[in-house]
Amino acid sequence: MKRRNREINVFSMSALDLFACALGAFILIAIVLFPYFPNIGDAPKVVASLTKKLSVTQQQLAESQQQLQECQANLQIAQTAASEAEAVANKAQAAASEAQAKAEAEFDQCAKKLRKKFLLILMSWESSVDVDLYVRDPQGQVFSYNWKTHSESPAKMEVDNIHGPGNEIWLHPQATPGNYEVCYHFYNNYSRQNSVTVSGAYITPVGRRGIPTTTVPYGNGTAMKHVATIAIDSNGNATLRGGSAHGTCDVFFDPSLPPKY
């Protein structure tokens, strides 16, 4: 019996077809990616350019870091200066508040002293007669044309007119608490009239207050009228009280006193 020839084919048509497809796919991918492949011939230049840019970038980064450090240092200095300024401002504000409180306390103290400091009593009339002002202080001392001052008191009859129209003024520069009695005396009747209209006022550091206008009769040169009592309290406040028919004014007048002319 004759033996058959058996041929072994390494590459069949199927294998060739597979290889052809793979080669085609590779060629297609290579064409698509071709623009992204670097120019190997220009590689040294590209590397040098990139190196130069990297060096410039690193230098700029170093400069930026230095500037940042300088800014941080300046910020720290500014914050320190701001803190010191705030401390100085707080200290100044505290000193100003303390000074203001001290000034207000001194002002209140001065105001209290000022309220206690003076009392001025004013009397005036418009007729051509002579009217006298009498003031009796809390110590019982009487001030008038004939007792203008007393050694125990700084008060004084400052103005005395002997012929109207005129006015008379009594001043106490350091009025002590108590009652100050005010009286008018129709002393001399030049114009032969039966009475005279007299107005008055008292002045303290708080201001001026009026004493009610009153009519003082004439009676043989001895007519005296109690018109008001001014009460000064311990705080220097003044209160006006109305006068009585005579009050203690009758004890002021002494017929034995010599005339003032």
What three-state secondary structure class fits 193? coil
Amino acid 246: pLDDT: 47
Amino acid 121: pLDDT: 92
Q: What's the mean per-residue pLDDT of the chain? A: 79
Amino acid 108: pLDDT: 75
* pLDDT band, residue 207 (cuts 50/70/90): confident
Is residue 41 scored above 70 in pLDDT? no
* pLDDT band, residue 255 (cuts 50/70/90): very low
Amino acid 222: pLDDT: 58
Q: Which of 115, 141, 116 is nearest to 251 (CA)?
A: 141
3-state helix, strand, coil split of the chain in percent (to 5) is 40, 30, 30
Dump strand ranges (E) for 111-177.
119-125, 130-136, 142-143, 149-150, 153-159, 166-172
Is pTM beyond 0.75? Reply is no
- Identify whether the C-beta of residue 247 lies closer than 8 Å to the C-beta of residue 214: no
* pLDDT band, residue 260 (cuts 50/70/90): very low
One-letter identity of residue 14: S
